[in-house]
Amino acid sequence: MKAHLQVVCFGEVLWDILPDGPQPGGAPLNVAYHLNKLGIASGIISRIGRDENGTLLQQLMHKWKINHQFLQVDETYPTGEVQASLSNGNEVGYQIVFPAAWDFIEAHTAALEQVASAGYFIYGSLASRNEATQHSVQRFLELDVFRVLDINLRYPFVKRSILHDLITKADMVKLNEAELDVVQTVFGGNYGTERDKVEFIQDKFHIPEVLITKGEAGAAYYKGEERFYHYGSAVEVKDTIGSGDSFLAAFIAGHARGKHPHEILKNAITMGAFIATQKGACPDYRLEEYLRFDA
C-alpha cells in the first residue's frame, strides 16, 4: 500500500566530508529529516551509488523513518560527496564532487503518482546541475502540487536558463540575501530595497510567496503584497551546516498546518538557531528539546 506523504523532497543525498569526519547531508535529506521530527510525513526522491556510502544513507533513512521507497540505486556513478571545510570558526566552504549518482535521478511513474498525491514538492537548484536530473525534475514540476524552490547557488553550477525555468514553476521561493542579489544580477532586476527586489521576482516569475533568510537578523516572508518579518538572535554556534534546511522544514510544517505567518517565522527561526547549536545537519534530538529552546 502506498504511504501518503505530505511533503516529497527531490534532489541530492550525499556525505559531507568534514575535517572531523563524514556527516550525512544534502538539502532534501536534511529537510525531510526535520519535517519528520515535526510530525509531517515526508519522503525522498534521489539516487545513490551501489556502494558502502549509499548503503549507509539508506540505513539512516530507514532508522529516521524517512520514506525512501523512491530512492534509486545507480550501477555506474558513486554516492554523492561534498568536501566541506570550516573557516572563521563556523563558516562552511564546499567542493561538490561531480558526477555523482544524484545527477542521474529518473522520473519513475510511481514516484510521479506519489508526488501528485502529496501536499508539497520541495526541490533545489543544485540538483539540476546535470541534464538527466534536470529533465526529471521538470516532469515533477508539471504536477498539480504546491512547489517550493530552495535556491542553492553553488558555482560553477549556475545557469541562467535553468534557473529561469525552476523559478517560473515555483509557488514559493526560498533564498538568502546574497542569493536575492544574484537573482537580480542574473535577470536584470532591481537594486533598491529588499521589497523592490522581491517584487521584481514576484512580477517577473509570477511567484506568490517569497521567503528571505537573513541569518542572525531573522527572516522575511512575502505573501502577495503582504510582508511579514521576525527578528533572529545570536546563539552559541557549533556549525551552520543544515540550519537553513531545518528553517525551511519548520516553515513548511507551519505553512502546511495553516499557522499565522508570524508564528511560522518565529518557529522556523527558532529551529534554524537550535540546529546551529548542534553538530551536523541532522543531529539526534527530541521534539521537546526544540520546543523548549529559546533562541
Residues contacting 34, CB < 8 A, separation 6+: 245, 246, 249, 250, 271, 275, 282
Give the chain's domain count. Answer: 1
Pairing assessment for the beta strands 146-150 and 21-25 based on DSSP bridges: unpaired
Domain region containing 280: 7-292
Residue 271 in domain: yes
In a domain, 288, yes or no: yes
pLDDT score of 282: 96
C-alpha dist (Å) from residue 149 to 137, 163, 172, 174, 283: 11, 10, 6, 6, 24
Q: How far apart are CA 15 and CA 93, in angstroms?
A: 14
Q: What is the DSSP code (8-state) at residue 223? A: E
Tell me the CATH number at 61: 3.40.1190.20
* 2 in a structural domain: no
Q: Which amino acid makes up residue 176? A: N
Whether residue 83 lies inside any domain: the answer is yes
258-290 pLDDT, tens digit per residue, is 999 999 999 999 999 999 999 989 999 999 999
Q: Would you list the DSSP string of 20-31?
A: TEEEEE-HHHHH
Q: Decide if pLDDT at 220 tops 70.
A: yes
Q: Is the pLDDT of residue 109 over 90?
A: yes
Average pLDDT (133-159) is 92
The C-alpha cell of 95 is what?
A: 567542493
> Residue 97 burial by CB count (10 A; 0-12/13-18/19+): exposed, middle or buried?
middle
Domain annotation covers residue 236: yes
Task: Please tell me the pTM assigned to this model.
Answer: 0.95
Is 254 within a domain? yes
- Tens digit of pLDDT for each residue in 161-209? 999 999 999 999 999 999 999 999 999 998 899 999 999 999 999 999 9
Does the residue 44 lie in any domain? yes
